[in-house]
Amino acid sequence: MPKKERYQNRIELLQGTLDMLILQTLQWGPQHGYGISQSIQGRSREILQVETGSLYPALHRLEKQGWVTSHWKQTESHQRAKYYRLTPAGKRQLLSEQARWAQIVTAIAGIMNPAPDEG
Amino acid sequence: MSFWTRLFRRRRREEELDEEIQGHLRMATQERMEQGVSAEQARVSAVREFGNVGLVKEVTRQMWGWGWFEQLMQDVRYGIRMLAKNPGFTAVAALTLALGIGANTAIYSFLDALLLRSLPVSDPKSLVVLNWHAKAWREDFVMRDMSGDVEDDPKLGSVSGIFPYPAFELLQQSDSVFSDVFAYCQTQEVRTMNVTIKGQADLAHGELVSGDYFRGLGVRPAAGRLIVPDDDRTGAAAVAVVSHAFSEKHFGGASSAAGQTILINNLPFTVVGVAPPEFFGVDPAAAPDLYLPMHTNILLGAANQFGFRAHDYLDQNSYWVEIMARLRPGVSLVQAQATLAPRFQQWVATTASNERERANLPALTLKEGAAGLDTLRRQFSKPLFVLMTLVGLILAIACSNVANLLLARAASRKREIALRLSVGAGRLRVIRQLLTESVVLATLGGVLGVFFAIWGIRFLTLLLGGGPEHVTMRAELNWHVLGVAAALSLLTGVLFGLVPAMQSTHLDLASVLKETRAGQPNRLSSDSIAKTCCYSN
């Protein structure tokens, strides 16, 4: 039981951010679930680990929202995989998320590193 | 989108999700192998990194928005499997519930027929029944002759619905408040009659009705025509209308009854039509077989030395007709009463022959006629409510018995539940599953219960009616009653399932899982205990 609770907390914590990270990753072209998790992991220099239990629900949620579409394609190593692609609505969503993220970063930074003239 | 297309799509989606995840695992394995890890180790490590495949699938499926339905179906399937696994338990529990639900459904169907359904006539809400009340009626009272009932009432003294025929004629002239005024009665002549149909003699219950009775009620014939004002006068051709049940019993159907000639007390009558099947007269307790124009009681009475005579229609002190009326649109019951009570008062004063009679004149009151005359209600509603309470208690007892059975079984299912909880099922989820199981059980009980109810209704009809010849009420399984049975099943399912479910999910997981497998007889250990006992002896 405690295991389950912890699990759900993590999903909740990541939800907004993970969606943004996925949309950002798909900006560079269609990608499959494994590719997306590898890409986020790589670009964050192995700091961000994407749980599959969060990744796949997020992908399916984004698809339901109409921000990504999916299709089956061969990978370079000749395996069938489900590729996700950003839709125009997804691009708009990404832009608004980026703006919101920038706001949050500035706001938190303002608290964490107060400007010298204020101190 | 239809249910089946949705279900089909969901299947495919499910397969795609599986393929998507397998693809993920394959790619992860391959990448590890490219880094020089052995195939076996790569696979294990990829799976470990991925986590619980089942759980990932489940949380992903929840995003499709149909998760609750799938979970429900899953729970129902699982519930049915668990019940099938324990046929003994299931049979006992379902039968217990079936008896409880069946009894409640049967009694409810009577209450439904008796209290909740209105007369099968057009716009029953505008119908009113005419009554009078007086302080006392046994002595010094304008009513010197009567055929009907007078009820004692703690507040009003005495209440009755019988009037002299001249009073009916007076009230028929109340065009300002009533659109129709009609009368009916069951005098001695018609209560039980000898009828001969195609040479076969039988007994039948009749009712005398005034010419505008059927028009006033707004009833349409099932065949032929109904009685009209022209039939109801001295010297008119002798006609009769039969009930639908009577037409089926004696003529083999409504359409073949119309036009037939029958003998009533050896007098020829023409059956001009058949009343609709759901119509049982204004008094559900009477449920006549034959409706005769009121004035035929002169024909029928002629054969009898003390029978009805034409001059009885003029007698102002002989009370025998019951009166109903239909309010004009826009006229309320109170308004009508205010208009008619003084008029009746004035008339009835003229019928008194001395001062003491004048001091205790009957006063007119109007009552709603929507549910038919309430003889049957008065007679049966109290015992039915008592019965309803009793069977309600029986159901409560049945519920607690089944809850006890479930609690006992929960002990043997501890391990299963602990296992579910420990592999990540939420407590609410497990409670929901157990509740679904008990609702499935209750549904089974409910279905059986409906069969019990059908049987119970037949039995009660005999019991309340006093015998198969006197069936007075039509109680039946309709959607109302079935709806109540379904609601009862659902309610009982939750009621008896909730406590056991809450209790059995409240577990110390580790200690339960360490116990030996429950549900499977552990022969070895019990044998060794027995042996130990033997040796120690």
Do residues B195 and B264 lie in contact, with contact meaning Cβ atoms separated by under 8 Å?
Answer: yes
**Interatomic CA distance for residues B315 and A76, integer angstroms:** 110
Within a domain: A57: yes
Q: What CATH number is given to the structural domain containing A16?
A: 1.10.10.10
Q: Is B289 exposed, middle or buried (0-12, 13-18, 19+ CB in 10 A)?
A: buried
Do residues B162 and B185 lie in contact, with contact meaning Cβ atoms separated by under 8 Å?
Answer: yes
Q: What is the DSSP letter of B328?
A: P
The model's pLDDT over B441-480, given as tens digits with 9 standing for 90+, comes to 889 988 998 888 888 888 877 776 554 444 445 566 777 7
- Of B150-159, B193-202, B382-391, B505-514, give the lowest mean pLDDT range: B505-514
As given in the structure block, the two tokens for residue B148 are 């009907």
Range of the domain at A48: 2-112
B414: pLDDT strictly greater than 60: yes
As given in the structure block, the two tokens for residue B293 are 């124009």
Give yes or no: residues B48 and B83 share one domain.
no
As given in the structure block, the two tokens for residue A77 are 């190593």
- Average pLDDT across chain B, whole number: 81
Give yes or no: residues B442 and B421 share one domain.
yes
pLDDT category of residue A2 using cuts at 50, 70 and 90: very low
Q: How many domains does chain A have?
A: 1
Within a domain: B534: no
User: Is B342's Cβ below 8 Å from some Cβ in A?
Assistant: no
Last residue of a domain, one of B307, B324, B358: B307
Do residues B322 and B184 lie in contact, with contact meaning Cβ atoms separated by under 8 Å?
Answer: yes
Instruction: Tell me the three state secondary structure of residue B363.
Output: strand
Give yes or no: residues B291 and B332 share one domain.
no
A54: pLDDT strictly greater than 60: yes
HSE-CB at B369 with a 13 A cutoff on CA atoms is 29
Give yes or no: residues B211 and B259 share one domain.
yes
Q: Is B407 exposed, middle or buried (0-12, 13-18, 19+ CB in 10 A)?
A: middle
User: Is B19's Cβ below 8 Å from some Cβ in A?
Assistant: yes
Give yes or no: residues B392 and B519 share one domain.
yes
Instruction: Judge if ipTM > 0.90.
Output: no
**Interatomic CA distance for residues B240 and B196, integer angstroms:** 13
The pLDDT assigned to B226 comes to 92
Within a domain: B417: yes
Within a domain: B21: yes
**Interatomic CA distance for residues B282 and B371, integer angstroms:** 8
Place of tokens 């309803």: B388
CB–CB contact A79 B27 (8 Å): yes
Within a domain: A118: no
B527: pLDDT strictly greater than 70: no
Give yes or no: residues B134 and B35 share one domain.
no
Range of the domain at B451: 76-117+377-529
How far are the Cα atoms of B17, B449, B523, B527 from residue B533, in angstroms, in the given order? 57, 49, 15, 10
pLDDT category of residue B421 using cuts at 50, 70 and 90: confident
- Of all residues in chain B, what percent carry a pLDDT higher than 90? 14
Q: How many domains does chain B have?
A: 4
Which string of DSSP letters, residue by residue, matches chain A? -HHHHHHHHHHHHHHHHHHHHHHHHHTTS-EEHHHHHHHHHHHTTT-PPPPHHHHHHHHHHHHHHTSEEEEEEE-TTS-EEEEEEE-HHHHHHHHHHHHHHHHHHHHHHHHHS--TTT-
CB–CB contact A81 B27 (8 Å): yes
Q: Looking at per-residue confidence, does B432 or B7 come out higher?
A: B432
Closest CA to B312 of B205, B208, B181: B208
Closest CA to B27 of A77, A115, A59: A77
A31 contact residues in B (CB cutoff 8 A): none
As given in the structure block, the two tokens for residue B444 are 């089974």
HSE-CB at B159 with a 13 A cutoff on CA atoms is 14
**Most confident stretch, A85-89, A100-104, B67-71:** A85-89
The pLDDT assigned to B464 comes to 64
Give yes or no: residues B192 and B247 share one domain.
yes
User: Is A62's Cβ below 8 Å from some Cβ in B?
Assistant: no
Of B30, B51, B64, the CB nearest to A60: B64
Q: B42 to chain A nearest CA, in Å?
A: 15
Of B21, B27, B51, the CB nearest to A51: B51
Give yes or no: residues B387 and B519 share one domain.
yes
Instruction: Tell me the three state secondary structure of residue B79.
Output: helix
Within a domain: B446: yes
Side by side, which strands form the sheet with A80-86? Answer: A31-32, A80-86, A68-74
As given in the structure block, the two tokens for residue B441 are 């059980």
Within a domain: A119: no
At residue A114's C-alpha, the angle toward residues A113 and A117, to 5°, is 140
Within a domain: B535: no
Place of tokens 């394995």: B29
Within a domain: B70: no
The model's pLDDT over B77-112, given as tens digits with 9 standing for 90+, comes to 888 998 898 899 899 989 988 988 888 888 888 877
A6: pLDDT strictly greater than 80: no
When scoring A8, A60, A68, A79 by the number of chain B Cβ atoms within 10 A, the one with the most, hence best to mutate, is A60
Q: Looking at per-residue confidence, does B318 or B426 come out higher?
A: B318
Average pLDDT over residues A12-26: 77
- Of all residues in chain B, what percent carry a pLDDT higher than 70? 86
Instruction: Tell me the three state secondary structure of residue B383.
Output: helix
Q: Please report which helix (H) or strand (E) contains residue B323, including its range.
A: strand B321-327
CB–CB contact B424 A34 (8 Å): no
The pLDDT assigned to A12 comes to 40
Length of chain B: 537
Name the phi and psi angles at B150, rounded to 5.
-125, 130
Which string of DSSP letters, residue by residue, matches B431-466? HHHHHHHHHHHHHHHHHHHHHHHHHHHHHHHHHHHT
How far are the Cα atoms of A22, A32, B92, B166 from residue A88, in angstroms, in the given order? 15, 19, 61, 89
Q: How far is CA B194 from the centre of its chain?
A: 35
CB–CB contact B23 A1 (8 Å): no
Give yes or no: residues B47 and B166 share one domain.
no
In angstroms, how far is the first alpha carbon of chain B from the final one?
A: 74
Do residues B215 and B231 lie in contact, with contact meaning Cβ atoms separated by under 8 Å?
Answer: no
Which are the contacts of B200, defined by CB distance < 8 A and separation ≥ 6? B250
Within a domain: A117: no
The model's pLDDT over B327-352, given as tens digits with 9 standing for 90+, comes to 999 899 899 999 999 999 999 888 88
B242: pLDDT strictly greater than 80: yes
Q: Looking at per-residue confidence, does B516 or A42 come out higher?
A: A42
B220: pLDDT strictly greater than 90: no
Give yes or no: residues B301 and B441 share one domain.
no
Q: A112 to chain B nearest CA, in Å?
A: 34
Q: A71 to chain B nearest CA, in Å?
A: 11
At residue B536's C-alpha, the angle toward residues B532 and B537, to 5°, is 120
**Amino acid occupying residue B316:** Q
Q: B66 to chain A nearest CA, in Å?
A: 12
- Of B56-65, B207-216, B239-248, give the lowest mean pLDDT range: B56-65
A11 contact residues in B (CB cutoff 8 A): 59
Give yes or no: residues B525 and B478 share one domain.
yes
Within a domain: A74: yes
Q: Which residues 58-117 of B have a C-beta within 8 angstroms of A?
A: 59-60, 62-65
